[in-house]
Amino acid sequence: TGHLDVYVPIKEMWGAMFRYDYFNAKEAGMPTNQQYTIGACLKSKFETSSLYIYASRNVLPAPLNDTHQVLLVWRISPFAQKYN
58-18-74-14 Cα dihedral, nearest 10 degrees: -150
* pTM exceeding 0.75: no
What does the pLDDT read at residue 82? 65
What does the pLDDT read at residue 66? 79
- Residue 24 binned pLDDT confidence (cut-offs 50, 70, 90): confident
- Residue 20 binned pLDDT confidence (cut-offs 50, 70, 90): very high
Contacts of 53 (CB under 8 A, 6+ apart): 39, 40, 41, 70, 71, 72, 73
